[in-house]
Amino acid sequence: MQLTVDSGSFPPSPPPSTTDPTLIAAHEWAAFDAVEKMVDHWERPGWSGDTRAYYWMLTVSEDSPLVGHMRQCQQALAHFGFDNIAPDGLHLTLGRIGLVGEISGDRLDRLTAAAQQTVPERFSLQAIPLTASRGAIRYSVAPWMPILGLYQKLHEVGAHHGLPFRKPASVFRPHMGIAYSNRTLPADGIRAALQPLRELGPVDILVDQVHLVELRREQRAYRWSITRTLHLLAR
């Protein structure tokens, strides 16, 4: 799959490798190193307290070692006053299907059944050094290829059912957020605080399910209800 430059993605350019964790992490850190100020993540058009939308998403169990890792990092950054992701809220967003109210339950059933027929084998990811974007503190993840392949399959099935993702896989940048910026502030101090946290070891994640969720925003947090689940194939 050929990744392309996209000004709406972060980083805008793809990494030099989609398999090497070191190169992926270095590329994303270099992108954040060029950021002068973080912005308010919540100043986003198209979302309000009443918005409900369907997304494909990977979620992380509260008993995963990654949640403890996340909380350690959040505590180290507490003085910035970010909006932390809750222990039951750690996730990797794949793509948006559409607004609730515009898609019937029968249509979601057909979409899910078709998607289940195309799912790949389960795979493992690593959450690798902590980094940030313009609006969030986040983990880089690696390798990208299984995630990109899963994204492409879901995009193709969705397109066949008239529910494609908004963006193609070529501009998708997998990541996992742990905290959202809620105001404009200089990025230099955040980089300095992140540096020692980047020395923490990576955490492995088994991806064996994909959830179709109904996503909503509550105050300054994303919450969801799982509506359908895909089970990836056992090896």
Say which CATH number the domain at 38 has: 3.90.1140.10
Quick check: 44 pLDDT over 90? no
Q: pLDDT tens for residues 2-42?
A: 899 999 999 999 999 999 999 999 999 999 999 999 999 99
Q: Residue 16 falls within a domain, yes or no?
A: no
Q: What is the pTM of this model?
A: 0.95
Q: Residue 7 falls within a domain, yes or no?
A: no
The whole-number average pLDDT for the span 144-171 is 95
- Asked if the bond preceding 196 is cis, omega within 30° of 0, the reply is no
Number of domains forming the structure of the chain = 1
Q: Residue 12 falls within a domain, yes or no?
A: no
CA-wise closest residue to 127 among 80, 178, 81, 55 = 178
Distances (CA, A) of 17 to 3, 100, 144, 151, 197: 10, 37, 9, 18, 23
Q: Residue 13 falls within a domain, yes or no?
A: no
Distances (CA, A) of 28 to 18, 131, 165, 208: 12, 7, 24, 26
Residue 46 is predicted with a pLDDT of 74
Distances (CA, A) of 187 to 24, 31, 122: 21, 12, 37
Q: Residue 1 falls within a domain, yes or no?
A: no
Q: Residue 57 falls within a domain, yes or no?
A: yes
Cβ(126)–Cβ(26) under 8 Å? no
Taking the C-alpha atoms of residue 166 and residue 96, their distance in angstroms, rounded to an integer, is 7
The whole-number average pLDDT for the span 207-231 is 95
| Cβ partners under 8 Å of residue 156, min gap 6 | 118
Q: Residue 115 falls within a domain, yes or no?
A: yes
Residue 235 is predicted with a pLDDT of 75
Cβ(213)–Cβ(227) under 8 Å? yes
Cβ(176)–Cβ(144) under 8 Å? no
Residue 27 is predicted with a pLDDT of 98
Quick check: 48 pLDDT over 80? no
Which of 49-53, 162-166, 202-206, 207-211 is predicted with the least confidence, judged by mean pLDDT? 49-53
Cβ(211)–Cβ(116) under 8 Å? no
Tell me the backbone φ, ψ of residue 150, rounded to 5 degrees: -65, -45
Q: pLDDT tens for residues 158-200?
A: 999 999 998 999 999 999 999 999 999 999 999 999 999 999 9
Q: Residue 162 falls within a domain, yes or no?
A: yes
**Counting Cβ atoms within 10 Å, is residue 22 exposed (0-12), middle (13-18) or buried (19+)?**
exposed
Give helix then strand counts, H and E, for the chain: 5, 11
Taking the C-alpha atoms of residue 221 and residue 88, their distance in angstroms, rounded to an integer, is 12
Residue 45 is predicted with a pLDDT of 76
Quick check: 219 pLDDT over 90? no
Show the domain range for 203.
Answer: 21-231
Q: pLDDT tens for residues 77-130?
A: 999 999 999 999 999 999 999 999 999 999 999 999 999 999 999 999 999 999
Cβ(143)–Cβ(203) under 8 Å? no
